[in-house]
Amino acid sequence: MKQAFAAVCIVTLSLSAVICAQTPPQAPKPAPELQRLNYFVGSWTTEADMKPGPFGPGGKYISKDHAEWMPGGFFLTSHSNMKTPMGPGTELAVMGYKPDDKIYTYDAYNSMGEADHSTGTVSGDTWTWTSDEKMGGKMIKGRFIIKELSPTAYSFKFDMQPEGEGWSTVMEGKSTKIAGKEKKEGKKEDKD
């Protein structure tokens, strides 16, 4: 009996040593599609015209935005300070990519109590972000289209479609990169 117990202990210890000696699993690596988000890295100035509608009275929208990669390179974070027809505000946005769904993600939260979750695709120089939101008890579809004009500028348009109605544009504008404010993964940047 003692010999059987000793044999079991030796086998168990041997297996434990083999298991512990194996190479630990590799840390996950960012999906190659995330590199496409490098376009948005840096500091930007945004100017847009908001149309009167569900977001308020309409008027000028101006923001200063700064985007940089989180350590690890899986998510791009953006901080914005904005002036809107409804007053000043701030926003935090996080962009990423879901490899299983082959879709980009965008989640934003602002100082006006709004939370936005969108999914996006890119084709050539055009990004299309879509969302479904409830507003006033009705479902509203959102569509945010970005057209890259150059490495340092893009135009955009935000359309909404209330349930049972057609699409209407609620905001159009342009963003311009501020020179010298870029930060790629692992590189230092100039501070504002």
User: Which H or E element spans position 10?
Assistant: helix 2-21
Q: For residue 62, what are the domain limits? A: 32-178
Tokens of 150: 């150059």
Please name which of 40, 143, 56, 134 lies closest in space to residue 95, comparing C-alpha atoms: 40
- Place 186 in a pLDDT band, splitting at 50, 70 and 90: very low
Q: Return phi, psi of residue 166, to 5°.
A: -90, 175
Q: Is residue 2 part of a domain?
A: no
In a domain, 41, yes or no: yes
Q: Evaluate whether residue 129 is within a structural domain.
A: yes
pLDDT per residue over 27-85, tens digit each? Answer: 889 999 999 999 999 999 999 999 987 667 899 999 999 999 999 999 999 999 999 99
**CATH number of the domain to which 74 belongs:** 2.40.128.20
Q: So what's the pLDDT on residue 15?
A: 52
Q: What is the pLDDT of residue 188?
A: 39
Q: Does residue 8 fall inside a structural domain?
A: no
Could you tell me if residue 9 is inside a domain? no
Whether residue 40 lies inside any domain: the answer is: yes
Residue 82's nearest CA partner among 175, 20, 158, 151 is: 175
pLDDT tens digits for range 106-135: 999 999 999 999 999 999 999 999 999 888
pLDDT value at 189 more than 60: no
Residue 142 DSSP one-character state: E
Tell me whether residue 191 is in a domain: no
Number of domains in the chain: 1
In the three-class reduction of DSSP (H, G, I as helix; E, B as strand; rest coil), residue 122 is classed as: strand
C-alpha closest to that of 148 among 156, 159, 160: 156
Q: Is residue 174 part of a domain?
A: yes
- What is the DSSP secondary structure assignment for residue 179, as one 8-state letter? T
Amino acid at 63: S
In a 3-state reduction of DSSP, which class is residue 31? coil
